[in-house]
Amino acid sequence: MGKKLKHIKLWLQGLSFRTGVIVLALCIPFYILSFAQMALPAKYLSVETKGILWVILFGMAKTCQYGGLTILGVEGYKRVKAWLKVNKEKQVDKDNSNSDKC
């Protein structure tokens, strides 16, 4: 089984950076759905159904999260982190320039 997992990991790491970002972004809706369905009243979904849905949706979220991180790798993770930092700094600068006008 170890060879099979290494083969899958190598295949995932061969995918593009963009694919990794898309797969990683897919975990967000799965996380939202896994917890949002708990807010539905019991008359629409039984407790057992909610539990099963939570396990499936939360599992899909974790699969997307770890799959996306495997595709990105360490260098891709650093790229995403740097991109988020630059965008946050741009937003702060934009907010500061707008507050000066008031």
Q: Which domain holds residue 92?
A: 9-101
| Helices (H), ranges, the chain | 2-13, 17-36, 47-101
| Assigned domain for 1 exists | no
Half-sphere exposure of 74 (CA within 13 A, CB side): 0
User: Is residue 96 one of the residues assigned to a domain?
Assistant: yes
In a domain, 23, yes or no: yes
pTM of the model: 0.69
Any domain includes 3: no
What total number of domains does the chain contain?
1
Question: Over its length of 102 residues, how does the chain's per-residue pLDDT go in tens digits?
Answer: 688 888 888 887 788 888 888 999 999 999 999 999 888 888 888 889 999 999 999 999 999 999 888 888 878 878 888 888 888 887 777 777 766 665
